[in-house]
Chains A and B, each alone.
Chain A
Amino acid sequence: MAALSTASRVLAKKVLSAKALPAVSQSSRKLHFSVYGKNNSKVSDGISTQYPVVDHEFDAVVVGAGGAGLRAAFGLSEAGFNTACVTKLFPTRSHTVAAQGGINAALGNMEGDDWRWHFYDTVKGSDWLGDQDAIHYMTEQAPHAVVELENFGMPFSRTEDGKIYQRAFGGQSLKFGKGGQAHRCCCVADRTGHSLLHTLYGRSLRYDTSYFVEYFALDLLMEDGECKGVIALCMEDGSIHRFRSKNTVIATGGYGRTYFSCTSAHTSTGDGNAMVTRAGLPCQDLEFVQFHPTGIYGAGCLITEGCRGEGGILINSEGERFMERYAPNAKDLASRDVVSRSITIEIREGRGCGPEKDHAYLQLHHLPPQQLATRLPGISETAMIFAGVDVTKEPIPVLPTVHYNMGGIPTNYRGQVITHTPEEGDKVVPGLFACGEAACASVHGANRLGANSLLDLVVFGRACAHTIADICTPGEKLSPLKTNAGEESVANLDKLRFADGNMRTSEIRVNMQKTMQNHAAVFRTGKVLKEGCDKMDAVYQTLDDIKTFDRGIVWNTDLVETLELQNLMLNAVQTINSAEQRQESRGAHSREDFKDRMDELDYAKPLAGQVRKPFEEHWRKHTLSTVDPKTGKVTLKYRPVIDNSLDAEDCAAIPPAIRSY
């Protein structure tokens, strides 16, 4: 036996030397990611002896590796900074991969174009709640950003001449709305987001970014109002890691999962917004959530409006074509918000379908199957896969679905996170940056235009990297941090890991999602929102009664889901409370009891002779919400909209007007 083993060992050695293994590259460049960051990390027990903490030091840390996070991470690495990218998902699995639409840029390949016209369209689309300096920055940088992506290797579709093909999409016009439809949307077949993410990830491998994949960021390390890093849980082995750095960029994405029906991935849990809230900083405009009227019940995929355009009808539990009552002329072809509200009203009045009476039906089986197959190819597969129905025999269950969150962490046009006081105005939080869907530089304002969000990701990811490169130099000494920084996060983790209440994580989550779907969705009135706020408060208190089952520390998904639930709750209470306070209808936030926009002047009438309303009495302002995490109480403040562009001669700001298309 021993002889056999020695023989095999000898043999193995022989085989190895005989094969002459290919020489590992002799260059001094490290692998693109370091799994445990062994080079600059040390274990400390400053926080607790039960949870050994590994400390890392970097010049910049990026939390999140979607479109914005990757662009910021390798922008920083390119500028020479020692960057870490902390992400709870592998970069190519981030939700950016699901984006198909395209990127808007005024390249002028199809007809003459000017980025100032794109600026006008975006300002108008945001219902004058967008900060015009940030929109100026984004639309001016758009052509550079798209050309840069194309140089990185992103395979845009081309015209005959070889230029990037641009199509009409997303409410874009020429000559400030007077010149007809503009063609600005550049896309990569039908997988723009997928291709963007893969291009950025591939490009980032050229630089020495350290990737910390499957590390769940718990909290920001704040000291004296300055952000000094992030504390994260390594999901793989349960160790706690503190990433100390002078610059932290948050790019964690949106929080669609607060609602019962949403198109976002299960991982869109608003972690960045919650981290900022726990640090005592405000979040901006969370009440602006973009809905789509017909999303498949349960799956969350959206059914195109073309179905109704081709003759599909919406029916309630009584089999009635209810759109005839809400929009007698347009019927099912009414605008999206009218359809969303009608479906919600039908469900609220008890005429919803299904065992829980919480959705409507989209009926297509009265149309000839041939017509369906030619006009809408692929819909039968979609209906079968996602709804489990045969579209030629049964109706598809649909309900209004969340698609995008316009609100998030307030930043200026350079990507720096700001707070606001009435005396001093906007003040930058040193060391903290945000970009992507998690941020609200407010380019989307009250409503996002299609194909602008991918543009937002790349432009502001790049902006964060440029700003950091302007302010700091690589290799700067870090300011000292208390040895027990982050101990509340670890205490919270410990509490959740051994939680032994009565309600499971999934039960509390479903309660929250249903409350948000019923009260803070498309149909908003004072009474419904107030009821929702009270219910959400009750659900928030049940978090103390939570029960987890997995007591381990390695790959504890129960724990991670519970942490995500805490984050979702913070987002949800802010959303519904902000919506309840905002007494007007603007963009995606529409209320039945306050149907008009309330600006400082009434822009529907001639402006001469009107008295400007004071700041407290009108609603053309950003909401800044903060939460006390222990009680769940939300405090709201307001911040004025930035109405001047970056350069008044180059691009004049657009004065507010009535938004009609």
Chain B
Amino acid sequence: MSLLRVCASTSIFRSTQGLFVESAFTGCLRTASGAAKDKEPLRKAKTPQGRFDMNDEKTKDPLEKFPDDVNPATKEHGGPRGPEPTRYGDWERKGRCVDF
């Protein structure tokens, strides 16, 4: 009760006293008025925390693992995944050439 009275009295001064007063009392005014739902939701800060929260599913590796790690065409155990890296004459991996 006393809180509401404080807020109400300060609201008169809100326009005259400027923004710093408003920012200080915005929180309690909001909860008091209960009109939070029609304002836009607080956006999450672009901190690493926020980025990871938005992206839930793991990015799929475009190069698939062979069953048992054995290349079915060349019967290589433990070789590189995906298409043969040397098929274009250089060592290609995900579009990047690493050695030639």
Contacts and interface: CB of A to CB of B under 8 A. Distances in A.
A292 B62 contact: no
A306 B87 CA distance: 8
Q: Which of A102, A301, A378, A383 has the most CB of B within 10 A?
A: A378
Given A378-B62, A378-B63, A189 B79 contact: yes
Contacts of A189: 78-81
A306 B94 contact: no
A378 B80 CA distance: 14
A451 B100 CA distance: 8
Nearest to B83: A377
B78 A160 contact: no
Interface in A87-108: 98-102
Given A160-B75, A306-B88, A100 B82 contact: no
Contact of A102 (B87, B91, B93): B91
The A contact surface, by secondary structure, is loop
Contacts of A100: 85, 91, 93, 98-99
Contacts of B82: 377-378
The B contact surface, by secondary structure, is loop
A304 B88 contact: yes
B4 interface: no
Contact of A379 (B77, B94, B98, B100): B94
Interface in A257-314: 292, 294, 301-307, 309
A302 B78 contact: no
Interface residues of B, number: 29
Interface string B63-100: 10000000000111111111111111111111111111
A246 to B, nearest CB: 37
A302 B94 contact: no
A292 B97 contact: yes
B45 to A, nearest CB: 23
A420 interface: no
B92 A304 contact: yes
Contact of B100 (A159, A376, A450): A450
A378 B92 CA distance: 10
Contact of B86 (A167, A292, A294): A167
Interface string A375-405: 1111111110010000000000000000100
A158 to B, nearest CB: 4
Contacts of A165: 74, 76-77, 79
Interface size class of A (residues with CB under 8 A): 35 or more
A519 B86 CA distance: 32
Contacts, number: 115
B98 A101 contact: yes
A158 B76 contact: yes
A190 B92 CA distance: 9
B95 A383 contact: yes
Contacts of A377: 62-63, 82-83, 94
Contacts of A629: none
A302 B62 contact: no
B38 to A, nearest CB: 37
Interface in A149-176: 155-160, 165, 167-170
A589 to B, nearest CB: 17
Contacts of A380: 95
A314 to B, nearest CB: 15
Contact of A306 (B75, B76, B92): B92
Contacts of B75: 159-160
B79 to A, nearest CB: 4
A303 B96 contact: yes
A157 B78 contact: yes
A190 B79 CA distance: 7
Contact of B85 (A98, A190, A292, A383): A190
A157 B90 contact: no
Contact of A157 (B63, B76, B88, B94): B76
A597 to B, nearest CB: 22
A451 B88 contact: no
Contacts of B84: 167
A304 B90 contact: yes
A190 B80 CA distance: 5
A376 B98 contact: no
A348 interface: no
A303 B97 contact: yes
A113 B75 CA distance: 20
A343 interface: no
Nearest to A403: B100
Interface in A616-656: none
Contact of A307 (B86, B91, B95, B99): B95
A377 B63 CA distance: 7
Contacts of B85: 100, 190
Contacts of A292: 97, 100
A13 B84 CA distance: 61
11 contacts: A99-B99, A100-B93, A101-B98, A156-B78, A189-B81, A301-B96, A304-B95, A305-B88, A309-B88, A378-B63, A383-B95
Interface of B: 62-63, 74-100
Given A189-B78, A376-B92, A377-B63, 14 more contacts: A100-B91, A100-B93, A100-B99, A156-B78, A158-B77, A169-B86, A187-B79, A190-B91, A302-B97, A304-B88, A304-B96, A304-B97, A305-B97, A377-B94
- Sort A-B residue pairs by CB-CB distance and give the 4 closest, nearest first: A378-B94, A379-B95, A101-B99, A306-B88
